[in-house]
Chains A and B, each alone.
Chain A
Amino acid sequence: MATETILMTPAAVQVLAAMLFGIGLTTAVIRRNIFVVLMGVELMLNAVNLSFIGFSRTLAGDASLLGQLAPLFTIAIAAAEACVGLAMVILLVRGKDTIDADAFSAMKE
Chain B
Amino acid sequence: MDSTLLWLIPALPLFGAILNGSLSLAGSKDGYGPPRGIVATFAVLMPAISFALSIAAAARLGGFGGEAAPALRQDLFTWFAGDGLNLSFGLSIDRLSSLMLLFVTGIGTLIHLYSVGYMGEDRGFARFMSYMNLFMTAMIILVMGSSLPVTFLGWEGVGLCSYLLIGFWHKTPEYADAARKAFIYNRVGDLGFLLGAFALFQITGSLDYAAISEWFRTADASALASSHGLITAACILIFLGCAGKSAQIPLQAWLPDAMAGPTPVSALIHAATMVTAGVYLVARLSDAFVCSPEAMAVVFVIGCATAVWGAVAGLVQNDVKKALAYSTVSQLGFMFMAAGCGAFDVALFHVFTHAFFKAALFLSAGAVIHGLHHEQDMRRMGGLRKNLPIAYLAMFYGWWAITGLPFAAGFFSKDLILEHAFAGHVHLGFNIAPLVGAIALVTAGLTAVYMTRVITLVFWSPSRVDPEVKAHIHGTPITMAIPLLVLGVGSLIAGFVWVGLPMGWMGVPENGMAFLANWLSPVVGPAQEVLAKASGVEHGDHNAMAWTVAGLGTLIAAFGSFLGWWIWRKGPKTVPAAGTSTAPTGFGGGWTFGFDTAASWLVVKPIMIVAYGLYWVVELAILGVAGWLVSAGSRALGDGYALALQRSRLRTSLALAMLGLAAAIAALLFAVK
Contacts and interface: CB of A to CB of B under 8 A. Distances in A.
Interface of A: 25, 28-30, 32, 101-102, 104-109
B648 A109 contact: yes
B647 interface: yes
B625 interface: no
Given A102-B651, A107-B646, 7 more contacts: A29-B651, A29-B654, A30-B651, A102-B649, A107-B647, A107-B648, A109-B646
B650 interface: yes
Nearest to B653: A107
Nearest to B649: A105
B583 interface: no
A105 B647 CA distance: 9
Q: Which 5 A-B pairs have the closest CB atoms?
A: A105-B648, A107-B648, A105-B649, A29-B654, A29-B655
Contacts of A25: 658
Contacts of A102: 649-651
Contact of A109 (B647, B655, B658): B647
Contacts of A107: 646-648
Nearest to B654: A29
A86 B643 CA distance: 32
A90 B648 CA distance: 22
A108 B651 CA distance: 15
Contacts of A30: 651
13 contacts: A28-B654, A29-B654, A29-B655, A102-B649, A102-B651, A105-B648, A105-B650, A107-B646, A107-B647, A108-B646, A109-B643, A109-B647, A109-B648
A29 B658 contact: yes
B287 to A, nearest CB: 82
A108 B653 CA distance: 12
A106 B648 CA distance: 6
A24 to B, nearest CB: 12
A25 B662 CA distance: 12
A27 to B, nearest CB: 11
A43 to B, nearest CB: 15
Interface of B: 643, 646-651, 654-655, 658
B535 to A, nearest CB: 93
Contacts of A109: 643, 646-648
Contacts of A104: 650
Chain A CB count within 10 A is highest, among B643, B646, B651, B658, for: B651
A66 B504 CA distance: 126
Nearest to B656: A29
A101 B655 CA distance: 14
Nearest to A101: B650
A29 B659 CA distance: 11
A32 B658 CA distance: 17
B642 to A, nearest CB: 12
Contacts of B646: 107-109
A104 B256 CA distance: 80
Contacts of B654: 28-29
Contacts of B650: 101-102, 104-105
A107 B645 CA distance: 12
A68 to B, nearest CB: 27
B232 to A, nearest CB: 77
Contacts of A108: 646, 648
A25 B646 CA distance: 21
A41 to B, nearest CB: 11
Contacts of B647: 107, 109
B635 to A, nearest CB: 17
A25 B655 CA distance: 10
Chain B CB count within 10 A is highest, among A28, A29, A108, for: A29
B98 to A, nearest CB: 81
A101 B651 contact: yes
Nearest to B650: A101
Nearest to A30: B651
A105 B646 CA distance: 11
A38 B428 CA distance: 107
Chain B CB count within 10 A is highest, among A32, A101, A104, A105, for: A105
Nearest to B657: A29
B659 to A, nearest CB: 10
A107 B653 CA distance: 11
Contacts of B648: 105-109
A104 B658 CA distance: 20
A40 to B, nearest CB: 11
Contacts of A29: 651, 654-655, 658
Nearest to A25: B658
Nearest to B644: A109
A108 B647 CA distance: 8
A6 to B, nearest CB: 28
A26 to B, nearest CB: 9
Nearest to A102: B649
Chain A CB count within 10 A is highest, among B646, B647, B648, B658, for: B648
A102 B655 CA distance: 14
A98 B646 CA distance: 24
A28 B646 CA distance: 19
Nearest to A109: B648
Nearest to B651: A29
Contacts of A32: 651
Contacts of A106: 648
Contacts of A101: 650-651
B532 to A, nearest CB: 94
Contacts of B655: 29
Nearest to A28: B654
A104 to B, nearest CB: 6
A104 B649 CA distance: 7
A47 B372 CA distance: 104
A108 B655 CA distance: 17
A73 B646 CA distance: 36
B99 to A, nearest CB: 82
A44 B431 CA distance: 112
Nearest to B655: A29
A54 B29 CA distance: 82
A29 B658 CA distance: 9
B162 to A, nearest CB: 62
